Amino acid sequence: MNVLVIPEDFTNDQNALQPIIEAMMASIGKPKAKVKVCTDPRLGGVEQALKWEKIQPILDRYNMVDIFLLCVDRDGKPSRRAELDHLTKKAQSFLTDKYQNRCKFIAECAWQELEVWILAGQKDLPRDWSWKEIRGYYSDRSAALT
């Protein structure tokens, strides 16, 4: 199985996404899945990653992929899920027409920032840490930036 992870900007996100997605694939019984982070083209931000004009060439270029996984930050925007659902429908329709349903496109957003996902993979977090507090902290910071 070949998985292409499409980050909004691979520069820093690849360091979090590569091991997380590899671990996820192993946990669902696909330990030999080849996980690659898309570095070409560099999307350079969530606005670019949500544009069909940027995603469609990636789907064409990496045609040996079984799963395309777009990962972006929510950035405190309640509408982000709807944007991703719209893009997913368009991409899956394209892939179905072109490759007869051989591959899938999945789009997901980190509730706050992708960097928080690193914490989720840690097994030795302090017992007194509260995910509700962590999510609230990053939600407040993301909302302040918008």
The CATH number of the domain holding residue 126 is: 3.40.50
**Alpha-carbon torsion angle 109, 73, 131, 35, nearest 10:** 60
pLDDT at 48: 94
19-34 burial by CB neighbour count: b if 16+ within 10 A, else e? ebbbeebeeeebeebe
Total number of domains constituting the chain: 1
Which residues form the domain of 40? 2-145
pTM, full prediction = 0.80
- At 133, the pLDDT band (50, 70, 90 cuts) reads confident
pLDDT at 52 exceeding the cut of 80: yes
Mean pLDDT of the region 101-110: 90
- Say which residue the tokens 């670019």 belong to: 48
| High-pLDDT (> 90) share of the chain, % | 56
Class of residue 106 by CB neighbours under 10 A (exposed 0-12, middle 13-18, buried 19+): middle
pLDDT tens digits, 1-12:
999 999 999 988
Confidence of residue 111 (pLDDT cuts 50, 70, 90): confident
Average pLDDT rounded to a whole number, residues 7-25: 90
For residue 36, list its beta bridge partners. Answer: 4
